[in-house]
Amino acid sequence: MKRILIAGGAGFIGTHLCRRMLAEGNEVICLDDLSSGSYENIRDLLEKDRFTFIQQDVIDPVEVAGPLDRIYDLACQASPVQYQKDPVHTARTSVLGACNLLDLARHTGARILLTSTSETYGEPLVHPQPESYRGNVNSIGIRSCYDEGKRMAETLFFDYHRQYGTDIRVVRLFNTYGPGMLRRDGRVVSNFILQALSGKPITIYGDGLQTRCLCYVDDTLEAIVRMMETDGITGPVNIGNPVEMTVKEIADLVLDLSDSRSGIVYMARPQDDPTRRCPDITLAGRLLGWAPTISPREGLRRTIEYFRDE
């Protein structure tokens, strides 16, 4: 049994991770300020002896009594709609949150993993994006609070590793989706599904030819856990599904799977919205023996059923 702290544990991916770690017999401490996570996500877990919930903002110093074996840093809003509402807090969450959790890892000797993002590549000039690509990021744009915040978090992780010997792991996630996504998430999959199920027009920003690669949450979770438990690596490692789809193709697939008669409307594309996004997952295959197993069609079918039931 390991004693595990999951920062952002009441969020979308965090909730799935809490449940998996408990199912594997571990003790889980979930830390979340509930700004994007939900108390309802973890309500049933509060009855379990090996689960503790701490409501706290990760930008404040994190103190946990007793030893820790693992720390997962998932504590940052990932939806542009959400993180742009308070960009200063978003940047502070990535940077100060990383410092606080890294300090805790130093104090306890725990191994710590950062869930970084494909947004570190910005508007990529290399396609698909390998981990060696340094990116093309607008440092002063409306998405910079998240993009640059995560880039700085990665810097801190590697500086703690070099300076203090902290045992770190860094993964870069590409468009994770699936059951448990928030209704107010504001990203392509949840927006399209909710609009299709409610009979409202599906809204595409731009011409719909920009691409995304959708990775089902179970696949993402498996990669995160493998990364944490594989010795001798630090990352960063891309985690995503290399099946590249246009936003229009995603909309058409959602309409087909949901049997919706919704139409499609086009609106202006937001500033710095990337035109192409696709991970090179060669490194994940070589180091982790990992590749996604759930196709976008099957994953979207499951996600639509979740939203329909909700």
The set of catalytic residues is: 146
**Cα separation, 1 vs 23, whole angstroms:** 11
Helix axes 87-108, 144-164, angle to 10 degrees: 20
According to DSSP H, which parts of 122-261 are helical?
144-164, 188-198, 217-229, 247-258
**Cα separation, 173 vs 213, whole angstroms:** 10
Residue count of the chain, please give it.
310
Residue 74 Cα distances to 36, 69, 205, angstroms? 11, 16, 27
Cβ atoms of 273 and 152 within 8 Å: the answer is: no
**Cα separation, 102 vs 225, whole angstroms:** 19
Handedness of CA 294, 297, 303, 305 (dihedral sign): negative
Does residue 168 come out as left (phi exceeding 0), alpha (psi in the -120 to 50 range) or beta? beta
Helix axes 12-23, 217-229, angle to 10 degrees: 60
Mapped onto helix, strand or coil, the DSSP state of residue 121 is: helix
Contacts of 27 by beta carbon, 8 Å cutoff, 6+ apart: 1, 2, 3, 4, 50, 51, 52
C-alpha 221, offset from chain centre: 10
Q: Any idea which residue has 């074996």 for tokens?
A: 69
Mapped onto helix, strand or coil, the DSSP state of residue 50 is: coil
